[in-house]
Structure 1
Amino acid sequence: MPRILVGSVYFLRLDPARWAEHQPFPPLGTLYAAGTLQAAGHEVHFFDAMIAQAVTEWSARVAEVRPEVAVLYDDNFNYLSKMCLSAMRLAALEMIAAATAVGAKVAICSADAADHPDLYLDAGAGAVIVGEGELTLAELTAAWRDGADDLSAVKGLAWRKGAETVRNPKREVLRDLDALPPPAWELVDMDAYRQVWRRHHGFFALNLVTSRGCPYSCNWCAKPIWGQGYAVRGARAVAEELARLVCLAAPDYIWFMDDIMGLKPRWWGEFAAAIDDLGVKVPFKCLSRADLVLREGAVDDLKRAGCDIVWLGAESGSQKILDAMDKDLSTGEIAEATAKLKAAGIRVGHFLQFGYPGEGMAEIGQTLAMLRATRPDEMGISVSYPLPGTVFYERVQSQLRDKRHWDVSSDMAMLYRGPYTTAFYRHLHTYVHRDFRVRRAVAQLREAVRGRAEGGDHLRALAFVAYCGVAIPLSWARLQLLRLMPHPAAPRVMTAGRAAP
C-alpha cells in the first residue's frame, strides 16, 4: 500500500479576520477522506493547515513522511472553502510543488480546483477530484497503487492524458452516509485546539455534520461538491458519534456544520431522544431555515437536544430581494422563527447579504428595520459574491471586474458592478455592526436598571452607548456620501491597436 500524506488546505493564519476570532475547528471533510483511506488499508499521515503556523510546515511534513501520494483535501463543510481566497489558492499551489518535488503523486479536492482544474494540473497535480471525494479518492489511490496511468475508469476526476485535460463522468452522490468510515479523529492534535479555545473563550468546541448538501435553489449559492442533492445521517448514528467524540476529547460545545440542519421531518426529535438515551447532551449551534424551525415541535426538539443558537439565512429584510434570490422564504417567517426560538431560550443568529442586484437604500433600510425589530443575538454580514456555477454568477458575469475573488474572507470587495461601490459596502458593514451593538448595549442597560441583568460591565456599556450617540449619525452621513460615489470606470478594451470608447 502507498504511504499517503493527507492535508487540509485552509490556513487559518492566512485569513487574518478569522484568525483573530480564535475559533479553529478541525478540517472535518479532510478527516473523512483520511478515514476512508485508513479503511482501505493505507498508511495515512495527516497535516492540519487549520492550526499550522505557515505553509512551510507542509514542506517539512513532506520531507518527514516522504509520501508516495499526497492528497490535498479541502474541508468542504467549511463554507469559506466555497470562495476562492487568493491566499489559500497560492498556498495550495505551493503545497503541490513541495509534494511533487519529492516524487509524490498529488490529488486535490476543493471547490476552486473543481472550478479551475487546469490551474492545478498545470501546477503538477496528477488529478483533480470533482464533486464528492471519498469514493473517488479510494479508487484513484488504488489505481495509482497498481501503477495505472490511464485514469478514465475513475468517475469524478479531471486529469491529463498527454497534453489534453480529460474530464471523466460525474460520480453519483452518496445516499447512505452512515456507510462511510468515520472521520479519523485520532489524527487530530486535540490539545492544540483545546488550548486556543480555552485561552480565548474559556471552553472547547468541536464540529460534526448530520447531512450533506442542500435541495433549495437560492440562486447565489454554489454547490460544487454535492450539487442539488441532500443526504442525511441517521439521528442515532450522529448521537453515537457525539458520544465517541465526548469520550475522545471532551468538548464543551459542538458546531453542526451542515449547510442546512433538520430538513428531514422529525429528525430533531429523533436526535433529542437519542441524546437523552445516551446521556451525552452537549450545547450546540447549527444552521437552518426559518420555515423548518416553524414546523410543529421543531423548537421544542431543538431545546431538548441542547441547542444553544440557530443561525438563519435571513439575507435581507426586503421581500423583493428575497424573491429575486429565489430564497423561497418570507420576511414574516424570518421574524416569526426568530421570536419563537428566543421565546424558548434559544439564541438566534442572522446571516445578512448586501449588494444583490436591485437593492437600493429603501431595501437596505428594510433590512435594518428587520434587525431592529427581531433583535437577533448574533449577526454576520457579507456582500453578494458571484460564485462560479450559480445563476447569480451568470447574470452578472458581464459586469465582473479584473479582481475575481477575495484575498481573505473579510475583503468585502464588490466583484461586479453592484448597486454601490466597495467603499460603500465596507462602511455599511461597519455601520450595521455598530448600530447592532449599540442597540444590544441599550437593551442590557435597561435590564440592569430593572435589576434583571446578570453581571456585565454596565459602565463600559454606558460609555459605548454615549460614543455611538455621536458616531452613528456621522457614520450614516458618510454612507449617504458614499452612495453618491460613481463606480470606477470600466476598463477600456483594446481593438485594432486603439482603445475602444
Structure 2
Amino acid sequence: MLKIQVGHSYFLRYDPKQWERGKPYPPLATIQVAALLREMGHTLSLFDAMLAEGVEEYAGALHAADPDLVVIYEDNFNYLTKMCLSRMRDAACQMIAEARVSGARVIVAGSDASDQPEAFLAAGADAVLVGEGIAALAALVDRLQRAPDIDTASWTAGLAGVATLVDGETQLVRLGAVPPDPRVVGRPAWDLVDIERYRSLWQERHGYFSLNMAASRGCPFRCNWCAKPIWGNHYKQRSAEDVAAEMTYLKRTFRPDHIWMADDIFGFHVGWVSAFADHLRDSDGSVPFTIQTRADLGSERMVAALADAGCAEAWIGAESGSQRVLDRMNKGTTVAELIAARRRFGEHGVRVGFFIQLGYLGEQLTDLLATRDLVAEAAPDDIGVSVSYPLPGTKFYEEVKAQLGRKTHWRDSNDLAMMFRGAYDSDFYRHMRDLLHQQVNLRQSRETLSPATHRDVHAQLETRWNTLFAHEAEHRTEQPTPSPFMAMQTIALPLL
C-alpha cells in the first residue's frame, strides 16, 4: 500500500478575474482519480489548490502527507484548466520541485501537461501522462507498489502515453485520443474536500452554495475551433440512474442550493434526460442545476425534459451571430437555431447564457455587427466572451505558431490577448466584450430603472458603440492572418 497525495495547481487566488467572480468548484477529475486510487487499496490525501492562499501552502500539505507518490492531476472538467494558463503552470512546476525534494515520486496529468510535457519534466516530474492517462497511472502505481525502489527508466518502460526523460531527452509514445476510461466510475472522493470552506465563500459572495458533478466525459462534435487533448472526440455518458443517485447523495450530504453540471454537452438524448428526471422525482433528489449545451440540441422535447429535471440555466455555445463564421468553424448550428433555442428555454423558465467568440480567422466588421445583433435579438440572460486562443495540437496553432513569439499562453483568464494577427488588435476585442456585457446588463435592468433613466443609459451605450466602430480602422491589424478554405481549429473558452 502506498501513501499517495493527489492534487492540482489551479489557484483561484492567482486568477484575479475568477477570484472576483467568486464561484469556485472542487477539482472533480482530481477527486475521481483519488477515489480510484483508494479503491486500489492505497492511502489518499488531497492538496486542493482552488481555495489555497498561494503555492506557499503546498509545503505544509506535503510535509503533513509525507507521500510516497504525488499525483498532480488537473481537473479536466474545469474550463479554466483547459486554458493552460502560464501562472498555473508556474505553480505546478514549483509543486513538482518541492515534491521531488521531499523524496516523493511525481506524476503529472492535464491539458497543459499533455500539450507540453517537456516543461513539467524539466521541473522534475518523473512521468507525465498524455490524455486522461488512467491506464498508465494504474500501471505506474502498481509497479511502484511492487518495487518501491524501482528506477525511473524501469518504472516507465513500455508504457504508451507516458512522457519521461531519458538521457536528458523526452521519450514518449503517443497513443492518440483514447475513449474515457471505464474504471472512472462510482462516487468521487468528496470526503477529502473541505466542503465548508467552499460553502463559506459561496454564501459570502452570492448568498447560496453550489457544487459540481458530471454526467459524461468528452464531446462527440467536431467544431473546428475546439482543442481536445484529453478525450479527443470520444464521448462516454453515465446511466441516468447513476447520475440521479449522485445528485441525491450530494443533496442529502452537503445540502447545495445549486449544481453546476460540468459536462461539455449535458444530456444529449431526450430519453436519457427524461429518465434522469424520473429517477430524481422518485428519490426526491433534484437540485436546481446549470448545463452547457448546443442550439441544435434545444428541441421542444429536450427543453421540456430538462426543465422537468430541474434545469435552471443553460449555457449555449453561440460563438457568433454570423452564419458565415459559424460555417467556417464547422459549428453545425445556425443563427436561427440559436434564437429558437433561446426562446424555448425562456418559455420553460430556464435562464440562458451565450458563449461568444471574437476574432475567428476571417471574421470582419460585418460579422462582429451580426454578433451584436444576435445578442440584441436573442436577449440572453448572460454572456461569456472570449477570443480565439491557439493551443498546440490544433490546425489553427500550426497556422499561427510562427506569429506567437515568446508569449504562447495567457497568464490568467482575463488576459484576452490576441495571440495571432486577427482582423483587429486586442484592445478592440476587449472594448467589444465590455460593450456586449453592458448591452446584456442594460436589458436585464429594464425593470429596475425608470423609463427615462433606461433611455439615457441606452443612448450612452449607443454612443460608445458608434465611437468604437467609427475608430475601428485604427485597430485593424496589418496583414492579418488569411483564412484558408480549409477549416482551422482553435480553443475558445469563456471569460464569464
TM-score (norm 1): 0.90
Find 1:209's aligned residue among 199, 207, 214. Answer: 214
Name 2:199's counterpart in structure 1.
194
Partners of 2:475 and 2:202 in 1: how far apart?
Answer: 42
Quick one: structure 1 residues 175 and 354, their matched pair in 2 at CA, closer, same or farther if it must change by over 3 Å? closer
Provide the secondary structure at the position in 1 that maps to 2:63.
Answer: helix
Quick one: structure 1 residues 489 and 178, their matched pair in 2 at CA, closer, same or farther if it must change by over 3 Å? closer
Which string of whole-angstrom CA distances, capped at 9 and with x for unpartnered residues, describes residues 406-435 of structure 1?
A: 111011100000010011111111111112
Find 2:468's aligned residue among 474, 478, 482. Answer: 478
Partners of 2:176 and 2:479 in 1: how far apart?
Answer: 44
Partners of 1:462 and 1:29 in 2: how far apart?
Answer: 50
Q: Is the CA contact (8 Å cut-off) linking 2:47 and 2:61 kept in structure 1?
A: yes
Tell me by how many angstroms 1:281 deviates: 1.1
Partners of 1:387 and 1:462 in 2: how far apart?
Answer: 47
The aligned runs of 1:281-296 (5 Å cut-off) are 281-294=286-299
Tell me by how many angstroms 1:464 deviates: 6.7
Which string of whole-angstrom CA distances, capped at 9 and with x for unpartnered residues, describes residues 345-392 of structure 1?
A: 111110000000111111111111111111111111001111221232
Which string of whole-angstrom CA distances, capped at 9 and with x for unpartnered residues, describes residues 121-152 of structure 1?
A: 11100000111133322221122223343212
Name 1:404's counterpart in structure 2.
408
**Aligned partner letter, 1:86:** S
Q: Is the CA contact (8 Å cut-off) linking 1:213 and 1:227 kept in structure 2?
A: yes
Q: Is the CA contact (8 Å cut-off) linking 1:220 and 1:387 kept in structure 2?
A: no
Provide the secondary structure at the position in 2 that maps to 1:358.
Answer: coil
Name 1:497's counterpart in structure 2.
none
Partners of 1:175 and 1:105 in 2: how far apart?
Answer: 25
Tell me by how many angstroms 1:162 deviates: 3.3
Name 2:27's counterpart in structure 1.
27
The aligned runs of 1:134-153 (5 Å cut-off) are 134-147=134-147, 148-149=150-151, 150=154, 151-153=156-158
Q: Is the CA contact (8 Å cut-off) linking 1:177 and 1:233 kept in structure 2?
A: no
Partners of 1:178 and 1:120 in 2: how far apart?
Answer: 26
Tell me by how many angstroms 1:466 deviates: 3.0
**Aligned partner letter, 2:10:** Y
Name 1:255's counterpart in structure 2.
260
Q: Is the CA contact (8 Å cut-off) linking 2:177 and 2:231 kept in structure 1?
A: no
Partners of 2:267 and 2:417 in 1: how far apart?
Answer: 33
Matched, 1:242 2:273: no
Q: Is the CA contact (8 Å cut-off) linking 2:345 and 2:351 kept in structure 1?
A: yes
Matched, 1:98 2:98: yes
Tell me by how many angstroms 1:264 deviates: 3.4
Name 1:365's counterpart in structure 2.
369
Size of the aligned set, in residue pairs, is: 475
Tell me by how many angstroms 1:180 deviates: 2.1
The aligned runs of 1:237-386 (5 Å cut-off) are 237-294=242-299, 297-386=301-390
Matched, 1:430 2:434: yes
Q: Is the CA contact (8 Å cut-off) linking 2:13 and 2:19 kept in structure 1?
A: yes
* % identical equivalent positions: 41
Partners of 1:119 and 1:403 in 2: how far apart?
Answer: 15
Partners of 2:146 and 2:183 in 1: how far apart?
Answer: 29
Tell me by how many angstroms 1:181 deviates: 4.0
Structure 1: 4+ residue segments shifted above 6 A:
none
Name 2:223's counterpart in structure 1.
218
Name 1:124's counterpart in structure 2.
124
Tell me by how many angstroms 1:395 deviates: 3.0
Which string of whole-angstrom CA distances, capped at 9 and with x for unpartnered residues, describes residues 104-136 of structure 1?
A: 111101111111111111110000011113332
The range that moved more, 75-84 or 431-440, is: 431-440
Partners of 2:226 and 2:15 in 1: how far apart?
Answer: 22
Tell me by how many angstroms 1:402 deviates: 3.2
| Structure 2 gaps, min length 5 | 481-496
Partners of 1:341 and 1:171 in 2: how far apart?
Answer: 37
**Aligned partner letter, 2:303:** V
Find 2:456's aligned residue among 447, 463, 466. Answer: 466
Q: Is the CA contact (8 Å cut-off) linking 1:259 and 1:288 kept in structure 2?
A: yes
Partners of 1:178 and 1:338 in 2: how far apart?
Answer: 37
Partners of 2:455 and 2:289 in 1: how far apart?
Answer: 31
| Structure 1 gaps, min length 5 | 445-456, 491-501
Name 2:493's counterpart in structure 1.
none
Q: Is the CA contact (8 Å cut-off) linking 2:180 and 2:234 kept in structure 1?
A: no
Quick one: structure 1 residues 185 and 390, their matched pair in 2 at CA, closer, same or farther if it must change by over 3 Å? same
Name 2:425's counterpart in structure 1.
421
**Cα RMSD after superposing both structures:** 2.0
Partners of 1:160 and 1:331 in 2: how far apart?
Answer: 49
Tell me by how many angstroms 1:70 deviates: 0.8
Which string of whole-angstrom CA distances, capped at 9 and with x for unpartnered residues, describes residues 421-450 of structure 1?
A: 0111111111111122123323x2xxxxxx
Partners of 1:243 and 1:181 in 2: how far apart?
Answer: 14
Name 2:487's counterpart in structure 1.
none
Q: Is the CA contact (8 Å cut-off) linking 1:310 and 1:349 kept in structure 2?
A: yes
Provide the secondary structure at the position in 2 that maps to 1:297.
Answer: helix
Name 1:451's counterpart in structure 2.
none
**Aligned partner letter, 1:74:** E
Which string of whole-angstrom CA distances, capped at 9 and with x for unpartnered residues, describes residues 173-232 of structure 1?
A: 456748624210010101001111111111110000001111111111111101110110
Which string of whole-angstrom CA distances, capped at 9 and with x for unpartnered residues, describes residues 221-275 of structure 1?
A: 1111011101100010000111111222111100000011122351111111111
Q: Is the CA contact (8 Å cut-off) linking 1:424 and 1:483 kept in structure 2?
A: no
Q: Is the CA contact (8 Å cut-off) linking 2:314 and 2:353 kept in structure 1?
A: yes
Matched, 1:441 2:445: yes
Q: Is the CA contact (8 Å cut-off) linking 1:5 and 1:46 kept in structure 2?
A: yes
Partners of 1:293 and 1:100 in 2: how far apart?
Answer: 49
Q: Is the CA contact (8 Å cut-off) linking 2:180 and 2:218 kept in structure 1?
A: no
Tell me by how many angstroms 1:50 deviates: 0.6
Tell me by how many angstroms 1:486 deviates: 4.9
Q: Is the CA contact (8 Å cut-off) linking 1:285 and 1:307 kept in structure 2?
A: yes
Partners of 2:479 and 2:316 in 1: how far apart?
Answer: 37
Find 1:387's aligned residue among 388, 391, 403. Answer: 391
Q: Is the CA contact (8 Å cut-off) linking 1:214 and 1:230 kept in structure 2?
A: yes
Partners of 2:452 and 2:49 in 1: how far apart?
Answer: 41
